[in-house]
Structure 1
Amino acid sequence: MSGPAAALAQLTSREKEIAELVAEGLTNQAVASRLCLSPRTVESHVARVYRKTGVPSRTALAALVTRHADAGREEPPPP
């Protein structure tokens, strides 16, 4: 396993959940509200996600999550 799948495989289920919400464009406050967490807890999770995946920003994280989602989609069979 390499690429986005390998980077995201290192994350806990909560970190993956938060990474996906960040990739959707939610702020830490919005993620915290949605998941009934404190904003500080979300900040800590986001920092760990950055460290584990090696991405430096929310934009880079969104790109990583998108690449992983795209890689998981199967191409439809030809007609």
Structure 2
Amino acid sequence: MRGRRTAVRDSAGWSALTRAERRVADLAAQGMTNQAVATALSVSPHTVDSHLRKVLRKLGVANRVALARRALHREHGQP
């Protein structure tokens, strides 16, 4: 396709997340529900759920609590 840029992404970790996945991850890590994230981003809850499942897989975490921990560590420069 003309005019499209293809970014090379890692397959795991924060650098593997798309911009949309990062936005969902950030809001979910703050404790927002899928519905609240959907409203904030003007997308459907189904879209949020899809992005969130990909985020959890790429970050290698099992749930939102682990996601929040990973986000907190990332903010403080910890691995």
TM over 0.5: yes
Equivalent residues, number: 67
Superposed counterparts of 1:29-44, under 5 Å: 29-44=35-50
Q: Which residue of 2 aligns with 1:26?
A: 32
TM-score with structure 1 length normalisation?
Answer: 0.81
2:61 is the counterpart of 1:55: yes
Structure 1 runs (4+) deviating above 6 angstroms are none
Give the structure-2-normalised TM-score: 0.81
CA shift digits 1:40-68 (9 cap, x unpaired): 00000000001111100000000001100
- Offset at residue 7 of structure 1 (A): 1.3
Q: Percent identity?
A: 45
Cα RMSD (Å):
1.3
| Structure 2 Cα separation of the partners of residues 66 and 7 of structure 1 | 14
1 or 2, which has the higher helix percentage?
A: 1
Please give the secondary structure, in 2, of the residue aligned with 1:52.
helix
